[in-house]
Amino acid sequence: MARFNSLAFEPIDPEEKALMDSIEDDEWTIVADIEQEKEKALGAARATLKKDRRINLRLTEKDYYHIQLKAIEEGIPYQTLIASLVHKYLNGTLVVQD
């Protein structure tokens, strides 16, 4: 039995197409204990977002000033901006715009 109307919903990428196909092929199963699965997912999310290490960083006055300005523009603390830049750089998702 088709669950998706192919005319109304086209997958946006190959990954979404594979997920749709797996649903169509009844490859998904019901979780026995949904509350336990929710707790596991929440625990993983908390561990991922936990910030438990500090670093000291020396910047030039000019760089510090520009970081402060960018953080104000983004509406976030400058430490959060720096952490976000480091995280994106390490994950290869940092995009520099001219």
The reply to whether the predicted model has a pTM over 0.75 is: no
Look up tokens 């109307």; give the residue. 5
**Close Cβ partners of 80 (under 8 Å, ≥ 6 residues apart):** 71
Q: Are 51 and 83 in contact (CB under 8 A)?
A: yes
Tens digit of each residue's pLDDT, the chain (98 residues): 456 565 667 878 888 889 888 988 989 888 899 999 999 989 888 887 787 788 999 999 999 999 999 999 999 999 999 999 998 999 899 888 76
3-state SS assignment for residue 97? coil
45-60 CB burial, b ≥16 within 10 A, e <16: eeeeeeeeeeeeeeee
- Which of 5, 6, 3 lies closest to 28 in space, CA to CA? 3
